[in-house]
Amino acid sequence: MNEKAAASESAEDRLIARHFRPLATHPGAFGLIDDAAAIVPPPGCDLVLKADAIIGGVHFFPDDDPATVGRKALRVNLSDLAAKGAAPIGFLLSLALPRDIDDTWLAAFAAGLGEDAAAFNCPLFGGDTDRTPGPVMISIAVFGAVPHGAMLMRSGPKAGDVLVVTGTIGDAALGLKLRQDPAAAGRWGLDRAGRDHLLARYLLPQPRNAAAPALRRHATGGMDVSDGLAGDLAKMCRAAGVTAEVDVARVPLSAAARAALAAEPALVEPALTGGDDFEVIASVPEAELEALTAEAAATGVAVTPIGRFVAAGEDGPRAIFRQGERTLAFARPSFSHF
């Protein structure tokens, strides 16, 4: 009957055991042999919950390195935890696999995912796998912890707060353009390193979880920039009921993005609206700015003030982007699938 017992262990069970059990390092995941996981919430903490999915041909290219796809799927969720000031606890994974996904792809995908699960201290708690007639889809639900009541909210910014952003803006949007039109590298005067930088920033987000504790200590509000700085900042303004004034000249750009914008000034629009930045925007009282900047820098995360929150005018809360004397108007301030 051992044969029968082995036969009743389905191919799905074996797939999970081989590729995903190594990621389920938390005792509450029970090695993925139960239907569900159980976690003891950290005392005095709120649980922060978020779900985000990525789909082949929509959020990544079907021929992308599967290890990178696995890392990206987790990182887009980790970025939200960073913006909320939350420490990762773990994640659930729902995987829809077309028939042309083979074991080699899955092994590389799981290895990449596992590498980041370990690096960000965010183990796998469970999930499910299904066959799909459509493209590969990776749905992740992530859990984090913040001290009770301390989650950084979109509605947090107060008039007078400084608006800061982590890292650099626009790289991923320009990287996507380069992916779609490789000849643009020449027009933009990019060397190989510059081109590779932009391509890599599209391929693999760099979520700012290292800076989350500093953000939580010093910021009044936070949000991750995933659909473009202009649109996401406008959302934050609406949630907070304040207006943000951004000095576009202060928006941090990588050397490659600076070169591209110098060659084609109209690229400022995709840089500010294109999405996939996975940086954090936060509101910080003037008196906290120096401490935040120093503590974030100590974790390797640059924090740059780019403007200020002010009382909303008669026309309601909004995000204003000033470039010298001009106020920029964007045809499409935010990426939207709909």
Of residues 146 through 185, those in contact with a copy of itself by CB under 8 A are 146, 148, 151, 153-155
225 phi/psi in degrees, rounded to 5: -100, 100
Nearer to a copy of itself, 299 or 327 (CB): 327
Q: Which helix (H) or strand (E) is 130 found in, with range?
A: strand 124-131
Pull the structure tokens for residue 323.
């470039």
Q: Name residues contacting a copy of itself, limited to 7-26 (CB under 8 A).
A: 7-13, 15
Q: Does 234 bind a copy of itself (CB under 8 A)?
A: yes
Nearer to a copy of itself, 141 or 296 (CB): 141
Pull the structure tokens for residue 19.
């590729």
Binding mask 201-230 for a copy of itself (x = CB under 8 A): ----------------------xx--x--x
State the Cα–Cα distance between residues 295 and 280, nearest whole angstrom.
15
Q: What is the 3 state secondary structure string of 215-272?
A: HHHHCCEEEEECCCHHHHHHHHHHHHCEEEEEEHHHCCCCHHHHHHHHHCHHHHHHHH
Among residues 229, 227, 225, 275, the alpha carbon closest in space to that of 250 is found at 229
Side-chain-side CA neighbours of residue 226 (13 Å): 24
**Min. distance of Cβ 168 from a copy of itself in angstroms?**
20
**Min. distance of Cβ 177 from a copy of itself in angstroms?**
20
Pull the structure tokens for residue 319.
């995000």
Nearer to a copy of itself, 86 or 296 (CB): 86
Which span sits near a copy of itself by CB under 8 A: 170-178, 211-219, 261-269, 330-338? Answer: 330-338
Q: Does 47 bind a copy of itself (CB under 8 A)?
A: yes
Binding mask 310-329 for a copy of itself (x = CB under 8 A): ---x-xxxxx---------x
Q: Name residues contacting a copy of itself, limited to 249-278 (CB under 8 A).
A: none
Nearer to a copy of itself, 96 or 284 (CB): 96
